[in-house]
Amino acid sequence: MLQPELKLRRDKIRSLMALQGIDAALIACNVNLIYTFGRVVGGYLYLPLHAPAQLFVKRPCNLAGEHIHSIRKPEELPALLKENDISLPTKLMLEGDELPYREYCRLAACFPEAEVVPCGTALIRQARSVKTNVEIEMFRRSGMAHVKAYQQIPSVYRTGMTDRQFSIEIERLMRLEGCLGIFRVFGQSMEIFMGSLLAGDNAAVPSPYDFALGGKGLDPSLPGGASGDFLQPGQSIMVDMGGNFNGYMGDMSRVFSVGKLPEKAYVAHQVCLDIQEAIVQQAKPGTVCEDLYNMAVGMAEKAGFADYFMGVKQKAKFVGHGIGLEINEMPVLAPRMKQELEPGMVFALEPKIVLPEIGPVGIENSWVVTTEGLEKLTPAPEDIVEL
């Protein structure tokens, strides 16, 4: 990745560090290393407030260049900083919400004279919430590959399939279009494989994960998504595969059906499209996230679908979420979220309804906030497609 882009990202973090009197950060987690260095390494990026960033690498052993140093263990860091005429920190920031406790304590102990603060996760997430122009272009490219894969979905459906078999064929399409496969999610114990395919009443099965919809899953060790049941006539099928084609997690859901659905399904689907359109018209820089959520809930209630909006027994308490190098970045369109939209924010908007004995309907697209409003990053047809 070009150094000017990485410097821009690091300087965004530095500006937030300066506001809290933090004079250095030690970055160790994969996603934040991608953001600040451009790739995953086994090691640490030391980010001083007023000096060039230094990379200390354990693995891989073939990285070399200015400001790159080979190490065996983090205890070597203070001496190496001194050797390179870099001041030791007085207030050091660590990724307190992501590092294992033992690793956090070990890194903190390397700098016994420093005040160590755990705010790195929240601060870097704040910096990452507003994307650079390069990041937005990455989303655009990822979105087009995502769309290309989804356009081929009807071609891989076969009568008599299970939801698992159909999901595997769609996952193959995604991989052939360049999807990296890994689905990075921020949050405690948030796990999923590439995304989910939910058919019929399986979409209403509660899951321990904080996703929009649940699903039984194939095994209690991963209770979410496809259940292994046969796809039945009159069922709706929601495909929600994560579009990680270049490290940036695009999000898109589309609905398919086995034959015709009851009329109620098409009515509910249109309600979701109307909610999407209303939010797109309202969402501009300065719009409060909570207001968009409340608008969505109000429209679902007025249309008579309140009991089925964003789930049935277990409802998701959001209608949109930030995306980036992970799913579940900022902003979040949810109750009590007073954050205002800013140009450069990217989020997935996903109004969905689950109808008993039919299944899920609705829509999900990725959007970037511009100075005028929203730009759609996943421009694919949005009607229910009969298989």
Q: Where are the domains of the chain?
A: 3-128, 133-386
Eight-state DSSP code of residue 216: -
Helices (H), 20-88: 30-37, 77-83
Class of CATH domain 3-128: alpha beta
Please give the pLDDT value at position 191: 87
Each residue's pLDDT tens digit, 261-308:
999 999 999 999 999 999 999 999 999 999 999 999 999 999 999 999
Place of tokens 């659905």: 261
Look up the pTM and report it. 0.95
User: Cβ(333)–Cβ(306) under 8 Å?
Assistant: no
Taking each continuous run of H as one helix and of E as one strand, the counts in the chain are 9, 17
User: Omega of the bond prior to 360 within 30 degrees of 0, cis?
Assistant: no
User: Cβ(236)–Cβ(199) under 8 Å?
Assistant: yes
**Which tokens sit at 309?**
């909006």
Q: Residue 218 and residue 302: Cα distance in Å, rounded?
A: 36
Please give the pLDDT value at position 192: 87
Eight-state DSSP code of residue 209: S
With a CB cutoff of 8 Å and minimum separation 6, the contacts of 206 are 214, 311, 313, 314
Please give the pLDDT value at position 237: 98
Q: What is the dihedral of CA 246, 251, 257, 260, to 10 degrees?
A: -130
Q: Residue 266 and residue 269: Cα distance in Å, rounded?
A: 5
* b/e code 272-288 from CB counts within 10 Å (16+ = b): beebbebbbeebbeebe
- Amino acid residing at 237: I
Mean pLDDT of the chain: 96
Report the DSSP beta bridge partners of residue 321: 332, 348
Closest CA to 346 of 328, 366, 332: 366
308: three-class secondary structure by DSSP: helix
Please give the pLDDT value at position 71: 96
Please give the pLDDT value at position 2: 80
Closest CA to 279 of 298, 264, 266, 265: 298
Each residue's pLDDT tens digit, 13-57:
999 999 999 999 999 999 999 999 999 999 999 999 999 999 999
User: Cβ(224)–Cβ(217) under 8 Å?
Assistant: yes
Please give the pLDDT value at position 346: 98
Superfamily of domain 133-386: Creatinase/methionine aminopeptidase superfamily (3.90.230.10)
Helix pair 133-151, 163-176: axis angle to 10 deg? 130
pLDDT tens track of the chain, all 387 residues? Answer: 688 999 999 999 999 999 999 999 999 999 999 999 999 999 999 999 999 999 999 999 898 888 999 999 999 999 999 999 999 999 999 999 999 999 999 999 999 999 999 999 999 999 999 999 999 999 999 999 999 999 999 999 999 999 999 999 999 999 999 999 999 999 878 888 899 999 999 999 999 998 989 999 999 999 999 999 999 999 999 999 999 999 999 999 999 999 999 999 999 999 999 999 999 999 999 999 999 999 999 999 999 999 999 999 999 999 999 999 999 999 999 999 999 999 999 999 999 999 999 999 999 999 999 999 999 999 999 999 999
Closest CA to 364 of 198, 135, 162, 220: 198
**Which tokens sit at 184?**
């990075």
DSSP code string of 312-380: SSS--S-SEEEESSSEEEEEEESTT--PBP-TT-EEEE--EEEETTTEEEE-BEEEEE-SSSEEES---
Please give the pLDDT value at position 327: 93
DSSP code string of 55-74: EEEEE-TT--STTEEE-SSG
User: Cβ(126)–Cβ(16) under 8 Å?
Assistant: yes
Please give the pLDDT value at position 233: 97
Closest CA to 350 of 294, 275, 243, 247: 275
> Residue 365 — φ and ψ, nearest 5°?
-135, 160
